[in-house]
Amino acid sequence: MNNGFRLPAEWHRQSAVLFVWPHGRSDWSTSLDAIQDVYERMAIEISRRQALWIVCYDEALQAAIQQRLQNAGATTHNIRYFIAPTNDTWARDTAPLTVLDGVGRGRLRNFRFNGWGGKYPHDLDDGLNQRLAGQNAFDAARLDSIDLVLEGGSVETDGNGTLLTTAQCLLTTTRNPRLSQSEIERTLSEALGLKRFLWLHEGSLAGDDTDSHVDNLARFTAPGTITYVRCDDTGDEHFAALAAMEAELRQFRQANGEPYRLVPLPWPKAIVEDGERLPASYANFLVINGAVMVPAFADPADAEACRRIGDCFPGREIVPIDSRPLIAQRGGIHCATMQFPLWKD
């Protein structure tokens, strides 16, 4: 059921990007130097183009970040700071999703967060949005609580009412065990103004502890275009599952009945840490005003990934971001951030 709301695509004009700065009380405690360098680079690139909202664990961390970003040359007048303790820093999965009404006013949807199906502590992260609203982070936009466990990385929209997602994540019994697929679709349609659902049943990445978030697998880059990860190495453990996912994507149709234009992304060489393969993916890019921030892994395929994503977003600057420190905790640029579309007051 579409109720006049619309979930805008990521390429919609944005008002801000939010992220949670890494802190020593999270899993980043043993690699703070490396990961803070990545967040500093992201902060510089985002603040050059639009507002950046940074969530800090406490006042001491905020003071340190402010000094760091000033010294690094960030556009400091575009940065707002908020204080909120968090378990972790993956804002994509804890920050609210924004819908626009018929005249372009914003409403924020605050879904429940349960640590990716109960895998990790999550009490502070589940309460993050209420803490931010209490600090007027979202200005006049209303924050509506939705009684459904949902992470932002598990859903992808074309901005025209179509949602792309994975059955492995949304239908797992560790999130909403009492709800059927049709009941989940109904709740999301009402909350986000959706008309159509595209369900991927195939595709996964080794080391991914999100139960196959779609933002590591396939992304809309235009209403009729989907870019996706493809493995051409028949000896790779991912080959069969990703080939099956590609076949599913070829069967999908747009609202007008036409097939989607499909743009495969290159496959980075395996990144292994402590004997475990990490879920490196070029699909975990972030679109911002005038640019796209693309994961880089010091891999020969980085340049080709930037070229293909750049072809999908003509007129936007392509900004590679070294994502090796992010992938060490099984995340990426998109996982670490949440964009907010421009809305009317």
What tokens does 27 get? 């899993």
CB 293 within 8 A of CB 42: yes
CB 170 within 8 A of CB 210: no
Backbone angles phi, psi at 64, to 5 degrees: -65, -40
CB 341 within 8 A of CB 100: yes
Catalytic residue among 56, 169, 231, 335: 335
Could you give the CA distance from residue 310 to residue 292 in angstroms, rounded to a whole number? 8
Annotated catalytic residue 335? yes
Nearest to 325 by CA among 304, 283, 297, 288: 297
Residues in the chain: 345
Nearest to 144 by CA among 97, 85, 84: 97
Backbone angles phi, psi at 3, to 5 degrees: -115, 25
Classify residue 264 as left (phi > 0), alpha (psi -120 to 50) or beta: beta
Which stretches of the chain are DSSP H helices?
32-47, 59-72, 91-94, 115-118, 123-126, 128-134, 167-170, 181-192, 239-251, 302-312, 324-327, 333-336
Catalytic positions, written as ranges: 335
